[in-house]
Amino acid sequence: MFNKYFVYILASKRNGTLYIGVTNNLERRVYEHKNNIVKGFTSKYSVHQLVYYEETNDIYAALQREKQLKKWNRKWKLALIERINPDWNDIAKDWIPAKSMRE
């Protein structure tokens, strides 16, 4: 069985504040962000919309990609998001069941 790792971008709104992270469980991590379970940047700035993600089986590739994206200028990040998600829809809008992932 292969492990899956995700590099993801959250946004506060279209062209708003961005957050880039890595996880091995995207649904759980987005749930944590949306419900402010872990206090920090995303809870402070209301960055809760999943607007982009990539998947890989290699944790080192995921970590390297995260670092790469964090170094990109804002214009490149916005272009990356808009190439995949031009309307800035919350990709996880229908994924996250209320409270069930906390158990």
For residue 79, tell me if it sits in a domain: yes
- Number of domain units in the chain: 1
Residue spans of the chain under pLDDT 70: 1, 96-103
Distance CA 89, CA 82 (A): 10
The span from the CA of 86 to the CA of 7, in Å, is 19
For residue 65, being part of any structural domain is answered with yes
Question: Does residue 102 form part of some domain?
Answer: no
pLDDT at 4: 96
Q: Is residue 10 part of a domain?
A: yes
89: in domain: yes
* Structural domain that includes position 20: 5-97
Whether residue 103 lies inside any domain: the answer is: no
Specify the CATH number for the domain of residue 70. Answer: 3.40.1440.10
Tell me if 49 is assigned to some domain: yes
Tell me the C-alpha distance between 13 and 59, whole Å.
28
Q: Which DSSP category does 98 fall into? A: T
83 falls within a domain: yes
How far apart CA 4 and CA 51 sit, in angstroms, is: 19
Q: Express each pLDDT in 37-62 by its tens digit.
A: 989 999 999 999 999 999 999 999 99
Q: Say how far apart CA 7 and CA 23 lie, in whole Å.
A: 7
